[in-house]
Amino acid sequence: MVFLFHAVSGMCTGMIMVVVQVYVAEISVPKLRGAVSTAPLLAFQVGSLLCFLLGEILVWKDLAIVGVCVTLPVFVSVVLCMPESPRFLIHEQPGHALSTLQWLRGAENDVMEEYHDISDSTHIDRWNVECEDLIRPTFWRPMLISCGLMFLYNMTGVASFTLYGMELFAEVSSAYINVAHFVVTAVLIIAITLSALLVDHIGRKLLLLLSLTIMAASAFVLGLFLFLKDLHKVDSYFVYQWVAEVFCVVLFTFAHGSGVGPIAWITMGEIFSPQYKWLGVSMASMVLWSSMLAVDVLFHKIRVAVATGGIFWFHCVVCVGGYIFVLVCFRELKEQRLDTITKAFIRKHENLIETFIARI
């Protein structure tokens, strides 16, 4: 029964996180969309930290009851009362869409220009996607970027660093394993908060490049420490090595939480056109959860095959590849309206085949 409840809650959480990200992107003003879009991920980490703290004094049944008591009032008072997205209402209730947009922006702001931009999408059939649409640049280019970032979200090694961080604290004492959870979550909260403050000022692309650079350096150094440990060349400096390894784990976690982590979610919510959003978001989410499962399942098997240091050098290579991917493929989306983002992906060649032929 517990496994059934865990599976159902996990499935619902996965759906909610995706829907919330799209909703927040659609109702936010362009100049604050990045910061506001980090709020769901930040709330998720704060909730994880609260669960950890309460779990120290409550059994799991009482903790579940506390969760229901907290979320039910929020659901009734906020979720049931919040307005639908104007981009959703514009198709069948244009008048309601205008009033909702005015309420979201404030009575003192003129929303007619934004309303007309949203109205341009009324001719789009959100569900009419044919095979030929899948090779159009307005679909495959955003799909490439979003799925690429979701792949980097996990394959750069955040789960591996977390698992190894738990082992580092367990080397001191088995009672310190929970401390590792606390440290990682606290670092992520600080990092995501910093990302919210910076993402709309310095831009997504620069933040991604800085994040991947620090992550690659941390993964390489940690892999080097573990390689030297296997060669028995640093046994006399165990304390210093332990501190250095913990620092690498914390630094990597901070870099991931301030760059790749939140920006992957932000991009998923804002990069797809209305016609392809349901399909694009679904495929990007599938890449995210599939890669997460792959890392969790294969971590210990790969560790046996290539040693622990080899795992982190692999993640270093992925970070370097991700840096090149972002540098070449990622388009800056800072302060751009959603319709402008869609138009930016339409270039000289109409579809993927024409683009490929032109490149040849």
Least confident residue range of 16-20, 119-123, 301-305, 326-330:
119-123
Kindly tell me if the per-residue pLDDT of 348 is higher than 50. no
pLDDT of res. 174: 65
Q: pLDDT tens digits for 149-163?
A: 999 999 998 988 888
Rounded Cα distance, 34 and 341, in Å: 14
Least confident residue range of 95-99, 129-133, 243-247, 306-310:
129-133
Kindly tell me if the per-residue pLDDT of 21 is higher than 70. yes
The count of C-alpha atoms lying within 13 angstroms of the C-alpha of 161, restricted to the half-sphere facing its C-beta, is 37
Of the candidates 288, 286, 289, 318, the residue with the CA atom closest to the CA atom of residue 302: 318
* DSSP label at residue 330: -
Rounded Cα distance, 341 and 351, in Å: 17
Average per-residue pLDDT in the chain? 83
pLDDT of res. 347: 59
What is the dihedral sign for C-alpha 112, 117, 120, 124?
negative
- Sort 337 into a burial class: Cβ within 10 Å, 0-12 / 13-18 / 19+: middle
Domain boundaries, the chain: 133-344
Rounded Cα distance, 349 and 190, in Å: 43
Residue whose token pair is 């992550």: 215
pLDDT of res. 5: 74
Confidence of residue 175 (pLDDT cuts 50, 70, 90): low
Percentage of residues of the chain with pLDDT beyond 70: 89
Rounded Cα distance, 313 and 227, in Å: 10
Radius of gyration, CA atoms only, the chain: 22
**133-344, what's its fold?**
Growth Hormone; Chain: A; (1.20.1250)
What pTM was computed for the model? 0.86
pLDDT of res. 122: 59
